[in-house]
């Protein structure tokens, strides 16, 4: 179990779009059909599954941040409840629905993850119910039995990726939960593995886990990438400890220690047993970087004998090193080529403008071509998803860059020695084929190796190899244009871009040249830079070159130029002889001030190669409130602005900067913001973390949509989804479109009352038309019926003045998204263009929301969907805000829709004007946040292709028609008795709602009746006149009907129930016989005739009858005659009664 990430005591980081997407990915494994596909995937946590690692891994995937292996923040959780309480979870995922058992303690932690899941069946007791431990345990077992009752094959995530185990169903049978299934009475009554076929879903689930989404990408950026960057920071820190003398003794083993330790220690705990290919770290110097050396390299046995001093041409000093860092349990990897020595000579006034030709410069130029090639290959691949095309583009770019650097003589030699490839790497660091479907959503590594570079200028041998690679992630979305065609829009992000692409370390000759340049500060006049105006102070240098990163050093301003001193490049001098213009951009006192120097090509021999750029521009950044910033204003600005200085200085604003210059300034500003106060040591950390890169925000917006799926996005919505994009579409007005207001709610939610209330309140503001499925129809929502109605509506409104408003009332257990899709995607484009949705409102009555415990009625949460519903009206318990049921339902709905406005309207009466305006809004449905939510939560909605599925509990409706009146008291009594007759799960025979039109015997008027069993609310009102625009056939007003909704209802059973609500039908009486007389009747006969004359020989003594022999009896001696007479008389009356019944001709309630 993992610690819980919390902010101020609450859960944090829950992304509803990711929660839904991850569930859909798991459910997609259940849609193939066939015997190899299970009916559901079972996941049980904690002791119930004997802490099964596969189940924990699935829980970590679905409830990210809640379950895991680290114990951070665990102490906060244990203050509230035990670890076993959090693990008390059973999950059964089916293709269209989800069953979840939890307890009242962990419920609030799980709710943010599951409240957006469609067709959720929640098994959770209330706090009061849970206090009975025995009842709670029985509830868990019975819930589990109910979950699996309609399954035949059940999948189990048996193994985790890091610990593969052979599947053994008998080990699953030992799980306490599975054993409890066999309990008599509350369990299933048999062994689980005898009743269900178990299947191992581990490997198929691993493919799902490897798919990147915004949450796993965020983890990659904030945890894995940060750790990865730390290894490079450690590498630079160790290298910077070396002087220009000690660096000669550095070995490959010493230089690669940080990368090797990082990789090998990570592998110890990975437990990956497969033999798939993976990358490995390396560090190689100079000529020891040939193709043969790279291929035979083993990170476990690095070389101590290969040192900087002996790996260059002819065993001289090495000119470069190639190195690669690889994450041991992740997809990140990048390779670089760094150099020993610089490529420039500081300008000291000499007129030599020829670039010195050295091996370092040659290797730097070839490396630069490889960098350009890899970046162009990544760009091509992100647009085409073709590795072949990317390879062609990369190789072409490499050769063209060689030409532009005047290395034509190397072109033919290097054409066959450059190798470009792209590899997909999953989250475990395993290389997978690009042809696999799963490779689409994983990190990729693009690399180029130029091996065995020939030495054409010096000794004729080879100089070794150069390598460059980056880890990147692409994102692609489909866009449907206005003409219906679908095009692709792609972007990518380079995850390892903050690792410096170029680095060098000064050798002895470079140090001497640098020191010569620094002597310029000690001479007061006669220097090529003029007079020193300031002392050395911190600043950054940067260029638009692909090799350049912002580098910190010391800057000294002169009257005729400047000197920049850098720990790697040495000294850089810029004289007025080489500067064509200077731009100074200082937005405000808290921002970085940028000095842009545009230079002539004559400066190139005196400028480090990584600072060479096509726009021939350098920027020096002065930190706000720094000494250099103040000194520039006080000592430099006035001198440089003077025409005698020979410099052209402009004070500019942002509009006068080029696009490239603006980008460089933004990068430097973000660097300053992330590192204030400025770090003193150059390599204390990498200069910029990935999260501060300006292009990251756009990519994350793009990726949040592309990672959901490949359903297209409408072109008209791009401006809203990408507000920072250049493409901005003005919000179109509704024009002459008919605005539709949708009101949804479960039966008993008083949505009809709200609808009537709104129409009455606003009837003077325009013409209102209400669409409501026929009240005597028991069919579920019909999209075609609504679309036919909309077509007929337009026909009926032609020629009538004023724009009407349409109120659409959805049927009871309807997913509101189905209604929205039916309206927005009418098959007739002409009709479709005439309607727009203004707002969607959900009515929720807490008293009629839950079937039992915390299990809500089907579609309750779907009717409050985020991105669809903007307002939720609570129509019950409004005067009891602290009522536990009210608080529970509000918490549930708020979790499902964090952005909706909550309104109180008892029984549908919304009285505040601002609340009415929210419900009748003409634009809330189209607000940007609503549109974005729909795209990430309901892929395919914009084409009407989002499938809402069906839940595990199906409430059916039965319509019963009759023509006879009912007895009002009997009907009321029978309705009230329905609540006490409700049965627990599986709820068979339960009636939850009764509505319709009936006639009572005490009145000739037709009455509308509705009864909600859970809330106990009964309404009996006179039938209102039917709106002629309300769809549905018009029925004869004399017919009565009732619609019952519930579980497992039968027509015969409902008819029997109704007969008891009518005047009871009289039946023929049977004739009496002596044997059928009751004791009371016999007693009554005797009481009536006991004083009748006695036969001879008897007398009555006042108590008993005595004969002549003195025998006594209690009954009259003629009692048998009296009974015969009584029976004869009674049977005459019965015959008369039966004849009258035959003449009357009694009718059954359901007779025509």
Q: Are 866 and 898 in contact (CB under 8 A)?
A: yes
* Three-class DSSP labels, 1082-1147: HHHHHHHHCCCCCCCCEEECCCCEEECCCCEECCCCCHHHHHHHHHHHHHHHHHHHHHHHHHHCCC
Phi and psi for 660 in degrees, rounded to 5? -65, -40
Residues 6+ apart with CB under 8 A from 512: none
Q: Is the pLDDT of residue 8 over 50?
A: no
965-984: per-residue pLDDT in tens? Answer: 898 999 999 999 999 999 88
Q: Confidence class of residue 2 from pLDDT cuts 50, 70 and 90?
A: very low
pLDDT at residue number 187: 62
Q: Which residues of 731-742 are buried (b: 16+ CB within 10 A; e: fewer)?
A: eeeeeebbbbbb
Q: Is the pLDDT of residue 445 over 60?
A: yes
**Secondary structure tally for the chain: helices H, strands E:** 36, 42
Phi and psi for 180 in degrees, rounded to 5? -65, -20
Q: Mean pLDDT across the chain, nearest whole number?
A: 86
Q: Is the pLDDT of residue 765 over 80?
A: no
Alpha-carbon distance 695 to 221, whole Å? 14
Mean pLDDT confidence for 762-773: 77
Pairing type for strands 1040-1046 and 1098-1100 reads unpaired
Alpha-carbon distance 576 to 590, whole Å? 30
Q: Are 1024 and 888 in contact (CB under 8 A)?
A: no
Torsion region of 1032: left, alpha or beta (phi above 0 gives left; psi -120 to 50 gives alpha):
left
Q: Is the pLDDT of residue 761 over 90?
A: no
Alpha-carbon distance 271 to 862, whole Å? 42
Q: Confidence class of residue 78 from pLDDT cuts 50, 70 and 90?
A: low
Q: Are 903 and 873 in contact (CB under 8 A)?
A: yes
Phi and psi for 859 in degrees, rounded to 5? 75, 5
Q: Helices 53-62 and 202-209 sit at what angle, rounded to 10 degrees?
A: 30
Give residue 941's Cα distance to chain centre: 16
Q: Is the pLDDT of residue 1047 over 50?
A: yes
Q: What is the C-alpha end-to-end distance of the chain, expressed in Å?
A: 66
Phi and psi for 658 in degrees, rounded to 5? -75, 165
Q: Which residues of 100-129 are buried (b: 16+ CB within 10 A; e: fewer)?
A: bbbbbbbbebbbbbbbbbbbbbbbbbbeee
Three-class secondary structure of residue 473 per DSSP = strand
Mean pLDDT confidence for 776-790: 80
Q: Which residue has the tokens 């490049």?
A: 569
Q: Confidence class of residue 62 from pLDDT cuts 50, 70 and 90?
A: very high
Three-class secondary structure of residue 228 per DSSP = helix
Among residues 184, 198, 103, 186, the alpha carbon closest in space to that of 152 is found at: 198
Mean pLDDT confidence for 89-106: 94
pLDDT at residue number 379: 95
- Give strand ranges (E) for 509-667: 537-543, 551-558, 561-566, 570-575, 579-585, 593-599, 617-622, 649-651
Mean pLDDT confidence for 217-230: 92
Position with higher pLDDT, 229 vs 182? 229
Q: Confidence class of residue 5 from pLDDT cuts 50, 70 and 90?
A: very low
Three-class secondary structure of residue 344 per DSSP = coil
Q: Is the pLDDT of residue 692 over 80?
A: no
**Number of residues written out for the chain:** 1152
pLDDT at residue number 637: 92
Q: Are 460 and 328 in contact (CB under 8 A)?
A: no
pLDDT at residue number 725: 46
607-657: per-residue pLDDT in tens? Answer: 999 999 999 999 999 999 889 999 999 999 999 988 787 888 999 999 999
30-43: per-residue pLDDT in tens? Answer: 987 778 899 999 99
Torsion region of 701: left, alpha or beta (phi above 0 gives left; psi -120 to 50 gives alpha):
alpha
- Alpha-carbon dihedral 974, 976, 981, 985, rounded to 10 degrees: 130
Pairing type for strands 537-543 and 617-622 reads antiparallel
1010-1039: per-residue pLDDT in tens? Answer: 999 998 889 998 987 544 444 444 444 458
Q: Are 1010 and 1044 in contact (CB under 8 A)?
A: no
Three-class secondary structure of residue 44 per DSSP = strand
Mean pLDDT confidence for 1129-1134: 86
Three-class secondary structure of residue 366 per DSSP = helix
Alpha-carbon distance 579 to 590, whole Å? 28
Q: Is the pLDDT of residue 1074 over 60?
A: yes
pLDDT at residue number 269: 59
Q: Are 187 and 141 in contact (CB under 8 A)?
A: yes
Mean pLDDT confidence for 126-153: 91
Q: Is the pLDDT of residue 526 over 80?
A: no
Q: Are 650 and 582 in contact (CB under 8 A)?
A: yes
Alpha-carbon distance 637 to 639, whole Å? 6
852-908: per-residue pLDDT in tens? Answer: 888 899 999 999 999 999 999 999 888 988 899 999 999 999 999 999 999 999 989
266-276: per-residue pLDDT in tens? Answer: 877 555 544 45
% of the chain beyond a pLDDT of 90:
53
Q: Is the pLDDT of residue 770 over 50?
A: yes
Burial class (CB in 10 A: 0-12, 13-18, 19+), 659: exposed
pLDDT at residue number 684: 41
Alpha-carbon distance 769 to 808, whole Å? 9
Q: Are 793 and 806 in contact (CB under 8 A)?
A: yes
Q: Is the pLDDT of residue 800 over 80?
A: no
Mean pLDDT confidence for 229-251: 92
Among residues 484, 461, 1031, the alpha carbon closest in space to that of 715 is found at: 484
Mean pLDDT confidence for 584-595: 91
% of the chain beyond a pLDDT of 70:
89
Give the side-chain half-sphere CA count within 13 A for 657.
24
Residue 470 in tokens: 């980056």
CA distances in angstroms from 294 to 21, 289, 336, 691, listed in the order given:
42, 6, 14, 33
Mean pLDDT confidence for 103-116: 93
Residues 6+ apart with CB under 8 A from 627: 535, 537, 538
* Three-class DSSP labels, 881-904: CCCHHHHHHHHHHHHHCCCCEEEE
Three-class secondary structure of residue 1009 per DSSP = strand
Alpha-carbon distance 1126 to 1139, whole Å? 20
Three-class secondary structure of residue 576 per DSSP = coil
pLDDT at residue number 1062: 85
Burial class (CB in 10 A: 0-12, 13-18, 19+), 459: exposed
Q: Confidence class of residue 11 from pLDDT cuts 50, 70 and 90?
A: very low
Q: Confidence class of residue 76 from pLDDT cuts 50, 70 and 90?
A: low
348-376: per-residue pLDDT in tens? Answer: 887 655 566 688 999 999 999 999 999 99
User: Most distant CA pair in the chain: distance in Å?
Assistant: 171
Q: Are 846 and 874 in contact (CB under 8 A)?
A: yes
Q: Confidence class of residue 688 from pLDDT cuts 50, 70 and 90?
A: low
Pairing type for strands 282-285 and 320-326 reads antiparallel
Alpha-carbon distance 949 to 1058, whole Å? 34
Mean pLDDT confidence for 1086-1111: 85
């Amino acid at each position: 179990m993992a610690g819980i990430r919390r902010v101020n005591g609450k859960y944090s980081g829950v992304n509803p779009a990711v929660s839904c997407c991850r569930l859909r990915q798991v459910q997609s494994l259940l849609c193939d059909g066939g015997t190899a596909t299970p009916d559901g995937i079972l996941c049980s946590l904690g002791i119930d599954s004997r802490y099964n690692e596969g189940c924990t891994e699935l829980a970590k995937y679905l409830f990210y941040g809640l379950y895991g292996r680290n114990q951070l923040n665990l102490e906060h959780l244990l203050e509230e409840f035990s670890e076993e309480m959090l693990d008390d979870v059973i999950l059964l995922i089916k293709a269209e629905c989800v069953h979840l058992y939890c307890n009242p303690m962990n419920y609030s932690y799980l709710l943010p993850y599951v409240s957006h899941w469609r067709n959720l069946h929640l098994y959770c007791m209330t706090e009061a119910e849970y206090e009975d431990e025995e009842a709670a345990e029985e509830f868990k077992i019975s819930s589990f039995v109910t979950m699996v009752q309609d399954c035949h094959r059940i999948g189990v995530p048996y193994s985790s990726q890091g610990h593969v185990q052979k599947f053994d169903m008998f080990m699953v049978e030992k799980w306490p939960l599975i054993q409890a299934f066999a309990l008599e009475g509350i369990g299933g009554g048999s062994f689980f593995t005898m009743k269900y076929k178990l299947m191992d879903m581990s490997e198929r689930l691993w493919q799902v886990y490897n798919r990147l989404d915004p949450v796993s990408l965020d983890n990659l950026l904030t945890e894995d990438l940060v750790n990865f960057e730390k290894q490079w920071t450690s590498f630079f820190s160790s290298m910077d400890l070396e002087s220009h003398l000690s660096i000669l003794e550095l070995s490959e083993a010493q230089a690669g220690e940080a990368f090797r330790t990082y990789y090998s220690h990570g592998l110890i705990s990975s437990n990956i047993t497969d033999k798939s290919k993976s990358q490995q770290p390396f560090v190689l110097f100079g000529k020891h970087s040939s193709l043969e050396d790279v291929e035979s390299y083993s990170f476990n046995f690095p070389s101590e004998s290969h040192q900087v001093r002996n790996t260059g041409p002819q065993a001289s000093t090495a000119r470069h090193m190639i190195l690669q860092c690889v994450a041991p349990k992740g997809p990140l990897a990048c390779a670089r080529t760094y150099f020993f020595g610089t490529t420039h000579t500081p300008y000291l006034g000499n007129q030599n403008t020829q670039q010195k030709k050295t091996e370092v410069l040659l290797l730097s130029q070839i490396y630069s071509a490889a960098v350009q090639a890899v970046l162009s290959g990544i760009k091509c691949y992100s647009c085409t998803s073709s590795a072949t095309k990317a390879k062609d583009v990369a190789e072409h770019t490499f050769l063209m860059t060689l030409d532009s650097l005047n290395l034509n003589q190397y072109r033919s030699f290097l054409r066959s020695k450059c190798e470009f490839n792209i590899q997909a790497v999953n989250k475990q660091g395993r290389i997978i084929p690009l042809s696999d479907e799963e490779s689409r959503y994983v990190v990729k590594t693009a690399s180029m190796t130029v091996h065995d570079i020939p030495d054409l200028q010096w000794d004729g041998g080879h100089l070794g190899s150069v390598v460059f690679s980056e880890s990147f992630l692409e994102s692609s979305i489909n866009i449907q244009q206005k003409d219906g065609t679908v095009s692709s829009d792609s972007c990518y992000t380079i995850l390892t871009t903050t690792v410096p692409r170029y680095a060098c370390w000064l050798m002895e000759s470079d140090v001497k040249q640098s020191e010569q340049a620094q002597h310029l500060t000690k001479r007061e006049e006669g220097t090529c830079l003029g007079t020193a105006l300031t002392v050395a102070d911190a600043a950054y240098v940067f260029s638009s070159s692909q090799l350049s990163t912002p580098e910190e050093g010391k800057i000294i301003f002169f009257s005729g130029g400047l000197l920049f001193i850098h720990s790697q490049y040495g000294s850089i001098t810029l004289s007025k002889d080489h500067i064509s213009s200077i731009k100074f951009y200082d937005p405000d006192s808290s921002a970085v001030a940028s000095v842009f120097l545009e230079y002539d090509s004559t400066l190139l021999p005196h400028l480090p190669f990584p600072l060479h750029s096509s726009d021939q521009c350098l920027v020096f950044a002065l930190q706000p409130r720094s000494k250099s910033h103040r000194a520039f204003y006080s000592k430099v600005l006035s001198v440089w602005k003077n025409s005698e200085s020979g410099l052209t200085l402009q004070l500019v604003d942002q509009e006068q900067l080029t696009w490239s210059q603006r980008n460089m300034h933004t990068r430097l500003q973000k660097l300053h913001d992330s590192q204030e106060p400025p770090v003193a040591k150059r390599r204390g950390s990498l200069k910029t973390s990935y999260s501060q890169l300006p292009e990251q925000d756009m990519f994350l917006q793009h990726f949040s949509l592309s990672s959901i799926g490949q359903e297209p996005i409408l072109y008209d919505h791009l401006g809203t989804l990408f507000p920072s994009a250049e493409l901005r579409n003005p919000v179109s007005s509704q024009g002459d479109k008919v605005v539709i207001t949708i009101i949804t709610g479960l039966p008993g939610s008083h949505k009809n009352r709200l609808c009537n209330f709104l129409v009455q309140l606003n009837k003077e503001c325009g013409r209102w038309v209400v669409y409501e499925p026929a009240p005597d129809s028991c069919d579920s929502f019909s999209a075609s019926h609504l679309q036919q109605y909309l077509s007929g509506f337009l026909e009926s409104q032609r020629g009538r003045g004023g724009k009407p408003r349409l109120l659409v009332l959805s049927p009871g257990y309807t997913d509101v998204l189905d209604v929205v899709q039916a309206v927005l995607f009418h098959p007739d484009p002409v009709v479709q263009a005439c309607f727009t949705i203004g707002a969607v409102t959900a009515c929720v009555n807490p008293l009629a929301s839950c079937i039992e415990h915390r299990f809500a009625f089907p579609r309750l949460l779907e009717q409050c969907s985020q991105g669809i519903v903007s307002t939720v009206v609570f129509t019950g318990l409004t005067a009891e805000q602290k009522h536990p049921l009210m608080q529970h339902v509000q918490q549930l709905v708020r979790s499902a829709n964090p952005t909706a406005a909550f309104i109180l309207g008892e029984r549908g009466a919304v009285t505040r004007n601002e609340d009415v305006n929210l419900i009748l809004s003409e634009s809330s449905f189209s607000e940007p946040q609503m549109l974005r939510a729909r795209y990430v939560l309901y892929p395919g909605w914009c084409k009407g292709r989002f499938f809402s599925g069906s839940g595990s509990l199906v409430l059916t409706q039965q319509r019963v028609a009759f023509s006879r009146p009912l007895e009002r008291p009997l009907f009321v009594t029978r309705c009230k008795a329905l609540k006490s007759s409700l049965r627990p799960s599986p709820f068979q025979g339960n009636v939850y709602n009764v509505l319709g039109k009936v006639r009572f015997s005490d009145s000739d008027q037709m009455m509308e009746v509705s009864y909600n069993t859970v809330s106990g609310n009964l309404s009996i009102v006179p039938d209102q006149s039917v709106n002629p625009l309300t769809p549905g056939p018009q029925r004869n007003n004399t017919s009565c009907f009732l619609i019952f909704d519930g579980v497992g209802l039968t027509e015969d059973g409902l008819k029997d129930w109704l007969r008891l609500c009518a005047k009871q039908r009289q039946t023929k009486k049977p004739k009496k016989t002596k044997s059928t007389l009751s004791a009371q009747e016999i007693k009554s006969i005797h009481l009536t005739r006991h004083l009748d004359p006695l036969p001879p020989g008897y007398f009555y003594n006042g108590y008993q009858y005595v004969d002549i022999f003195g025998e006594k009896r209690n009954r009259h001696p003629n009692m048998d005659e009296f009974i015969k007479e009584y029976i004869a008389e009674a049977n005459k009356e019965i015959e008369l009664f039966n004849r009258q019944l035959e003449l009357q001709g009694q009718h059954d309630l359901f007779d025509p």
